[in-house]
Amino acid sequence: MIVLSAEFIKSAADAKGWPPAGPPEFAFCGRSNVGKSSALNALAGRKQLARVSRTPGRTRLLNFFDLRVAEKTRSGARGPEQEVRFADLPGYGFAAGPREERDVWKKMIEEYLTRRESLRALVALVDGDLGAQPSDVEMVRWAESLEKRVLCAATKLDKIARSGRRQQLDKIAGQLAVPKGYEFSAKEHFGVEELWHALMSA
């Protein structure tokens, strides 16, 4: 994928703050520290795109990014320009916090998942080294129960020996009960094109 431009649009707590539905949108979720910022930066080909998602005051909000992209054709030429939007959902860390924070988080995500018409797929990031945790399973089941398309990607897979990656990926897909998991490493930059392809096919 050729990323022509990528920019932060805004942060929002609820539907009133979302940018008007426009380009196909992909939401990214995962436990805190799963490598979500790194994955967004790797997909966007920008070192610091997702930095804004971690500035004080924005970590508990939905953060929206607009990208203009073009697929590379087989001959290496640039395909037609397309717009996509990324929504960076707050990490589940808060979901483990005090009851009220959990409720606020849950309400915010539920409103987004049920009411965002332009949402094409939820990308559930799972720590590929750690494997799927109960909160990951819960998130995937929840999104599926709302009839959302879910793509599961295993981050930090560079931490697993090359020979064990396939097995680890299958194990994670099994834990999440999804047909396929996508391997990903922001550090070694693998899986980036495959995940882009999955997004654009969703």
The first and second tokens of residue 5, run together, are 């431009």
The first and second tokens of residue 40, run together, are 């967004």
The answer to whether 155 touches 181, Cβ cutoff 8 Å, is no
Return the closest-CA partner of residue 196 out of 59, 16, 44, 88. 44
| CA distance to 32, 95, 105, 106, 111, per residue, from 98 (Å) | 16, 8, 11, 12, 20
159 binds ligand GDP (CB under 6 A): yes
Contact pick of 12, 27, 29, 34 for ligand GDP (by CB under 6 A): 34
Contact pick of 35, 90, 181, 191 for ligand GDP (by CB under 6 A): 35
Q: x/- binding map, residues 90-109, to ligand GDP, per CB under 6 A?
A: -x------------------
Burial class from Cβ neighbours inside 10 Å (0-12, 13-18, 19+) for residue 118 reads middle
Cβ 200 to ligand GDP, closest distance in Å? 22
The first and second tokens of residue 127, run together, are 């720590």
30 vs 181, beta carbon nearer ligand GDP = 30
| Binding footprint of ligand GDP, residue count (CB under 6 A) | 16
52 vs 137, beta carbon nearer ligand GDP = 52
Cβ 41 to ligand GDP, closest distance in Å? 8
5 binds ligand GDP (CB under 6 A): no
Cβ 35 to ligand GDP, closest distance in Å? 3
Contact pick of 11, 38, 63, 168 for ligand GDP (by CB under 6 A): 38
186 binds ligand GDP (CB under 6 A): yes
Q: Which positions touch ligand GDP (CB under 6 A)?
A: 30, 32-38, 91, 155-156, 158-159, 185-187
